[in-house]
A and B are shown apart, each in its own frame.
Chain A
Amino acid sequence: MTNTTTESTDTPSGFTKNLHLNKHISRRFNEELEQVRTLVMEMGALVEQQVNDGLTAVLNADTKLAVKVIERDHEVNTMELEIDEYCTQILARRQPAASDLRLIVSVLKSITDLERMGDESVKFGRNAIKLAKGNFAEEEGSRPLVELRHLGKHVSETLNKALTAYAQMDVEAALEIIKNDNIVDEEFDNISRLLVTKMMENPREIKNALRVTWCARALERISDHTTNLCEYIIYLVEGKDVRHATIEQIKASMSN
């Protein structure tokens, strides 16, 4: 998909170009699909913001930001409902086929994953508030938080890449992200191990350590959802369902 960048110069976005969303005989249909895409990208941006803010709140023990994240979750939920309804309308009225159908199906699935990511962000917020009360951050400028920051940065970057790939229908980038999914799993294992050690060393900190574990766990979940997003991109562009398949299987099916 190397041509994506070159082609995107003459059209607003790679998304539109690749799927020829602007080429329907019905101009109204073009607009509707474009609108769905825009909404999803908006929702993606919002969720990314939530994840980043939640993470920041945890790491900086920022109660204010944490509250804000929790409060903003309903916006994510509202957007999910809105897009859901929009897609249902398109299905009912337009009976989309082929790439249009795949677009709608992938959007319907993507928003579920995005909403879950939003829920995970709320977990960040709740834990951030509790962690701030427990003075965890001050006591330990310690390794678990460093590790968490590290993992958080990776997950956040991946999510950003995934959303970019989504916007540009970039199958290569999506594949790359799916391939690197195990890195997050490993990191999560590292943090867990670290925290278990901490808890055994200092039973008073079990509560806080558990909270950090949950945050790490949330990051791991977000990463999984990100991977899902990438799988939808492949489904959307290639028409291949690559869920529950190994990366080798995916590549084999795509070259077919």
Chain B
Amino acid sequence: MNAIKIPKPGHVNEATQTDLSQTDLSKIELSQTVGNIYADNAKMSIRNADIYYGDKQAIDNISLDLAKNQVTALIGPSGCGKSTFLRSLNRMNDTIDICKITGQFTLDGEDIYAKNLDPVLLRARVGMVFQKPNPFPKSIYENVAYGARIHGLTNNKAELDEIVETSLQKAGLFNEVKDRLNDPGTGLSGGQQQRLCIARTIAVSPEVILMDEPASALDPIATAIIEELIDELKEKYTIAIVTHSMQQAARVSQHTAYFHMGKLVEMGKTEDIFTRPSHKLTENYITGRFG
């Protein structure tokens, strides 16, 4: 996987001109992504990524950029590899023995799979929020303070307090929990728990936040709050979000990538993907058609 050509930003793939009406679905050639995978200001760049679980290929030759300070949504049917791909961005797949990853993954031009790069350091820079709210069975304070503590980000208690407070504030949770910081985090409501998890991630001051279906277990109100939060967070962080809800992708993201059976079918601006997708498979997926 050496000598990958990274074309100039702004270049548009040839395959954009796929004609919707004449496409025979069985003959769709998926090897090439439709649309624009490049960002002017890429925080992370992935080129020719292949991910295998044992003999099974989960991700097939995917290349894309995550634009800095923007939200990139990864959508696609279940089992299309979007979560696998997301997890490869902070090497969460390292813990799985049979998982094999090739390709070039860069964060600010730095190879994140380089031998001399400690995944612990990477995960401090690329945080992750999971599908199910998973606060530690500890107090709210401890939940937020944990990351800062293990990385030794603070010198004294006052600094730690400061980090906990600002993180909770950024996650829009501070006012709700300020009087019960010592209560267990698991006692909060689902939406609050998820915001606690986001606060916990923010507390480490990452550059990129990966979100794996962060609102799928929440009710619409909690979902709306999380979405609003994502919108605010993008001012400071680069965000990649996997979601099953097309509406959510449409609401929160600036770029959308459609995955299908381990391949990146189409990527482009969200406004285009949801009104005029170029690829028949994308169209079928977002309009609820069977292909």
Contact = CB atoms under 8 A, between A and B. Distances in A.
Any A–B CB pair closer than 8 Å: yes
A99 interface: yes
Interface string B268-291: 000000111100001110111110
Q: How large is the interface on A (under 10, 10 to 19, 20 to 34, 35 or more residues)?
A: 20 to 34
A135 B284 CA distance: 61
B136 to A, nearest CB: 36
B288 A24 contact: yes
A23 B20 CA distance: 14
A23 B284 contact: yes
A25 B287 CA distance: 9
Given A95-B247, A97-B246, A97-B250, A20 B289 contact: yes
B247 A98 contact: no
A239 interface: yes
B276 to A, nearest CB: 3
Interface in A1-34: 1, 3, 18, 20, 23-26, 29
Nearest to B278: A239
Contacts of B284: 20, 23
Contact of B287 (A3, A96, A240): A96
Residue of A18, A20, A97, A100 with most chain B CB atoms under a 10 A cut-off: A97
Given A3-B22, A23-B284, A98 B290 contact: no
A25 B288 contact: yes
A100 B283 CA distance: 9
B22 A97 contact: no
B286 A3 contact: no
Q: Which of B247, B274, B286 has the most CB of A within 10 A?
A: B286
B21 interface: yes
Nearest to B289: A23
A97 B286 CA distance: 6
Contacts of A210: none
Given A239-B275, A239-B276, A98 B21 contact: no
A98 B286 contact: yes
Nearest to B272: A239
A102 interface: yes
Contacts of B286: 97-98
A24 B247 CA distance: 17
A18 B276 contact: no
A95 B274 CA distance: 11
18 contacts: A3-B21, A20-B289, A23-B284, A23-B289, A24-B289, A25-B289, A26-B288, A97-B274, A98-B274, A98-B275, A99-B287, A100-B287, A101-B274, A101-B275, A102-B275, A102-B276, A238-B276, A239-B275
Given A20-B284, A23-B289, A97-B246, 18 more contacts: A23-B290, A24-B290, A25-B288, A25-B289, A25-B290, A97-B275, A97-B287, A98-B275, A98-B277, A98-B286, A98-B287, A99-B20, A99-B287, A100-B287, A101-B275, A102-B275, A102-B276, A238-B276
Interface of B: 20-22, 246-247, 250, 274-277, 282-284, 286-290
Interface of A: 1, 3, 18, 20, 23-26, 29, 95-102, 238-240
